[in-house]
Chains A and B, each alone.
Chain A
């Protein structure tokens, strides 16, 4: 039976949450099809193999040592391909993180595989394996049948549920692979302490044109901090220079899937919706009751964000203190 192999991304020695979601999805797929499940980890990550075993991987391939300390699409793709060959993998899963998508692209080319990226749903019992992914700025959903023998799939973070950790252990299989690294990570620059990336946040508080300026973002930032969430922004706010591009959510920014997205002073263009439409819950605060975002929000507050948002923050602090 052809196997399912998950690339587990490690950050600070731990398997990323997004990768644990991918393992859970792999585990579900394995249960539905009877296929065996394995994982592959690159770089030095003591404990990662154990975690992956508890999540359901029967085998964990590990590629460590020179060439694997830092991410390299070439070395990592070689290692994943090597693990896949040893395991007899047909389905390669990983999370659609920045590096997951980077690796998936190289790997799919290397394996001459069908590639489906940023997948938001899987038809678990389909044959050929069929996945759902957003296209045309999330205005449409494509149901894609993967016809090639080998398939590389990246899963959108925060969309697939985490699986249970059980009292299981994996067989650990060290592997090596050719590491002809021509694109070398020189250094990793961390974002400011405490700053949460919008793509990883459970809660995002975003500001748009209605925020009015860089100073106006303070109320947005304070609410985000209170909710231990990330700060997002619309293109209008970024283009006006009020906040850096890395906060931009939307078609030309980031695609996010938080549990809660709070849009403050954002009209909600189709391009913005392309980036946050898959949020589980949306709250909008806007003075314009006819703004498109108000139609799409689960909870729409008609009002001045500068009056409402600070009260939200205060009330939250009280609610949390209780």
Chain B
């Protein structure tokens, strides 16, 4: 039983991001450290734990078909699928060190620059031949702040999806997922194969051991092109016309002194300026 994990390389959360003056819609990359999308770690950890437990019981698989990659082979692998430029390999190595068996990287610029719906369609094409029973992804990509990818991939593979899982229980034919919504949570049963995106709290991602890091260097990262996948990126759906820093917040009021005095000033401000009282 195979598990596909959607991966992305993103700028480090601490990175200072500055729009590139020459490349519209892009950021200056020279000073930036890139990492595996933080939410992807929960997806990788969950996939690796499922495989370590002996995989899924026999259940639904995405039917492999023409146009997919001839990837199947061996029973029960967790494999990463990523769209990204060549530098994304370092993020994939991190995921391999966390326990994925191997990874596939689609690095065509046309794929890298595509919108989320197109990327989902491309990833679906890459995943199809792998016939996974489960597709896991991080809840959100912290660079584009998009959380749609798992659902889009699911649509193109004609399978169900659940986003933002805080808990996943598998019984061979379905995944029972607990996801948070405003004011509570939903327990959702998705028949397998299914795509599920993973939230913080799902598990505690491991730190890779030195051995695991060493072993990951021998694992395969296979680069595939859109031509090999038999898909095209199609017409551009959206375009970033401008990328800029948000306007700075105007300087605020600062008070210091006796707690009773500063608190009274705070109340006055809440009533007069913020008008919440």
| A contact residues vs B (CB 8 Å cutoff) | 11, 71, 73-74, 97-99, 101-102, 104-106, 108-110, 112-118, 130, 133-148, 182-191, 195, 197, 199-200, 202-203, 227, 245-246, 248, 251-253, 259-260, 270-271, 277, 280-283, 289, 294, 296-304, 307-308, 311-312, 315-316, 319-320
Closest to B179 in A: A98
When distances are taken between beta carbons in the complex, the residues of chain B under 8 Å from A260 are: 270, 274, 276
State A102–B182 Cα separation when bound (angstroms): 13
When distances are taken between beta carbons in the complex, the residues of chain A under 8 Å from B263 are: 301, 308, 311-312, 315
State A145–B162 Cα separation when bound (angstroms): 28
B240 touches A197 (CB 8 A): no
A sample of 13 cross-chain residue pairs with beta-carbon separation below 8 angstroms, ordered by A number, consists of A98-B179, A101-B148, A108-B116, A143-B241, A143-B244, A145-B239, A146-B238, A182-B160, A185-B187, A197-B183, A251-B13, A283-B269, A297-B252
A142 touches B240 (CB 8 A): yes
B239 touches A319 (CB 8 A): no
CB distance from B153 to the nearest CB of A (A): 8
When distances are taken between beta carbons in the complex, the residues of chain A under 8 Å from B231 are: none
A271 touches B13 (CB 8 A): yes
Closest to B42 in A: A252
A202 touches B269 (CB 8 A): no
Best-surrounded residue of A294, A319, A320 (most CB of chain B within 10 A): A319
What is the predominant secondary structure among interface residues of chain A facing chain B?
mixed
Does chain A have a CB within 8 A of B112? no
Q: Which 10 A-B pairs have the closest CB atoms?
A: A105-B148, A105-B151, A109-B155, A183-B160, A182-B160, A311-B263, A307-B259, A114-B237, A183-B190, A143-B242
Report if A319-B267 is in contact (Cβ < 8 Å); known contacts: A106-B155, A146-B237, A189-B186: yes
Q: Which of B95-103, B125-133, B137-145 contacts A (4 or more CB under 8 A)?
A: B137-145
Report if A144-B238 is in contact (Cβ < 8 Å); known contacts: A252-B38, A260-B276: yes
A188 touches B186 (CB 8 A): yes
B252 touches A299 (CB 8 A): yes
State A168–B49 Cα separation when bound (angstroms): 56
Report if A182-B243 is in contact (Cβ < 8 Å); known contacts: A11-B183, A109-B120, A281-B273: no
When distances are taken between beta carbons in the complex, the residues of chain B under 8 Å from A113 are: 117, 237
CB distance from B252 to the nearest CB of A (A): 4
| B contact residues vs A (CB 8 Å cutoff) | 11, 13-14, 16-17, 19, 25, 27, 38-39, 115-117, 120-121, 142-152, 154-156, 159-164, 166, 176, 178-191, 194, 200-201, 235-246, 249-250, 252-257, 259-260, 262-264, 266-267, 269-271, 273-274, 276-277
B164 touches A98 (CB 8 A): yes
A197 touches B160 (CB 8 A): no
B117 touches A245 (CB 8 A): no
A190 touches B184 (CB 8 A): yes
Report if A303-B200 is in contact (Cβ < 8 Å); known contacts: A73-B161, A143-B242: no
Closest to A252 in B: B200
B274 touches A115 (CB 8 A): no
When distances are taken between beta carbons in the complex, the residues of chain B under 8 Å from A183 are: 160-162, 188-191, 194
Closest to B277 in A: A319
B181 touches A140 (CB 8 A): no
Contact of A182 among B194, B257, B273 (CB under 8 A): B194
State A311–B116 Cα separation when bound (angstroms): 49
Report if A147-B238 is in contact (Cβ < 8 Å); known contacts: A112-B117, A203-B276, A260-B276: yes
State A302–B163 Cα separation when bound (angstroms): 41
CB distance from A34 to the nearest CB of B (A): 23
Best-surrounded residue of B19, B180, B187, B270 (most CB of chain A within 10 A): B270
CB distance from A32 to the nearest CB of B (A): 19
When distances are taken between beta carbons in the complex, the residues of chain A under 8 Å from B253 are: 298-300
